[in-house]
Structure 1
Amino acid sequence: MSQITPTQVVRDHLSLDSDVPGEKARSVVVFLAGVVLAAAVGVVVWLLGVETNANGALLTATSIMTGLVFTMTMRFWERSIDARSDPDLLFDAPRRTTIDTMRTMLLWTVFAGVLSTAWFVGIALFFGTEKTPAWPTGVSAALVTYQLFYVVRALLALYSASYTLRK
């Protein structure tokens, strides 16, 4: 049995090891779209000089989203492991790929949520209930946008998987 490297989640998320035609390019483009969208929102919020004292509410929201996505991740993790021993899925590459893609995308969404939550913990500890200056608010907006991008992407993928994984 080989060791999984820390970069394996990134490789799986971007479908760098995928045998499915067109999956690599699509995954990289969607990833870059999320990064560009989040960066654009963060820069706009920063340039507009938005300041907020709603860090506690945002911390709560990101924590709840992260917990819910973590629950979904554990379900697909279990299915991904079981797919290697299920005769119905063992030789059904498209269905098995759907399960593995969902597992990795949900795990990536959890990582984005943990990063957002950690940022908001730091902001809440540092600024308390005072207004947060524009640049940390811009970073906060970017992180929340990135997390929401992946939560929506995961929900759409779950909906699609509900059709793909029917028996």
Structure 2
Amino acid sequence: MSAGLRIRRLAADEAARHVDALADVLLDCVEGGASVSFMWPLARERARAFWRGVAEGVRAGERVLLIAEDAAGRIVGTVQLIVAQPDNQPHRADVAKMLVHRGARRRGLARQLLLAIEQAAREEGKTVLVLDTVTGGDAERLYARGGWQAVGTIPNYALMPDGRPCATTYFHKQL
């Protein structure tokens, strides 16, 4: 792990206490152009409401939430595992909202978050993981280097935060 960085799992109560810090990371990523389901400008209260919902998902046992903290204890990254799946897919989970604050990038944190969420999936008894990402972005290269298999690309699937359409590539990994 990079010097001074710590990745850990949050329980629901702790996730609820960190809504503002998690909103800071989300706002920074969306402002920086990350296509993660939100448009820019993103209202702070909307970002806070999203994280309150995530905390409730953790409380309900539907999600696993990991955070990365810097040496000062500031949240600089996060990733989720959506474990609530249909009855015929109890072995599967979705990786979602891997976010790294722009000030913490280029230090291997995303790779560390990916490895940590894969370990969390194993602990949850999951053997098939699925995720999607913007085609041609840094994350796509990260997943490919991490042993994830590209399944396919859908043109014009989503919008970038500035409104431009973008393609999305789906990946899976067998654990």
TM-score, normalised to structure 1's length?
0.28
Query: Which protein is richer in strand relative to its size?
Result: 2
Which is greater in Rg?
1
Higher relative contact order (CA 8 A, sep 6+): 1
Query: Which protein is richer in helix relative to its size?
Result: 1
TM-score, normalised to structure 2's length?
0.27
